[in-house]
Amino acid sequence: MKDGALVANSGHFNVEINIPSLAAMSVGEPNRVRPFVEQYLTKDGRKINILGEGRLINLASAEGHPASVMDMSFANQALSAEYMAKNADKLEKKVYSVPADIDNEIARLKLEAMGVKIDILTDEQLHYLNSWEEGT
């Protein structure tokens, strides 16, 4: 990694940046150079800047949970509750993942509201995304 790199986690889990390995490759404790920025000095002299302690950056370094993130979370909760109510007679008493069609529709509506148009993933991209065992 280049000297002075800024590293942020835009995924969902704290395992996406291996902080313990970076610490092992570094000299001394990280230096807080500004709020939400820890600078590690590697043994070969490079400075690597970790944003938001390696946690999900838009939540770790924001002031609370912004409406632009929470609106999708609340939509997911509301539509999932509606799904459970409509399908209560068919569902077992267990934990379920949010149905993909609900999740995808919320994402589509959010992007549409933001004026964003997206492409369809290729088979190769889908295979790559589905190959992850941890993280996003």
Where do the domains of the chain lie? Answer: 5-60, 67-130
Exposed/middle/buried for 59, CB within 10 Å: 0-12, 13-18, 19+? middle
Read off the pLDDT of residues 48-60 as tens digits, 9 standing for 90 and up. Answer: 999 988 888 877 7
Read off the pLDDT of residues 87-119 as tens digits, 9 standing for 90 and up. Answer: 999 999 999 999 999 999 999 999 999 899 888
Q: How confident is the model at residue 64 (pLDDT cuts 50, 70, 90)?
A: low
- What is 90-102 written as a DSSP string? T--SS--PPPHHH
Q: How many Cβ atoms from other residues are within 10 Å of residue 27's Cβ?
A: 10
Q: How many Cβ atoms from other residues are within 10 Å of residue 130's Cβ?
A: 7
Is 80 a residue whose pLDDT tops 90?
yes
The overall average pLDDT reported for the chain is 89
Is 14 a residue whose pLDDT tops 80?
no
Given a contact cutoff of 8 angstroms between Cβ atoms, the answer to whether 135 and 12 are in contact is yes
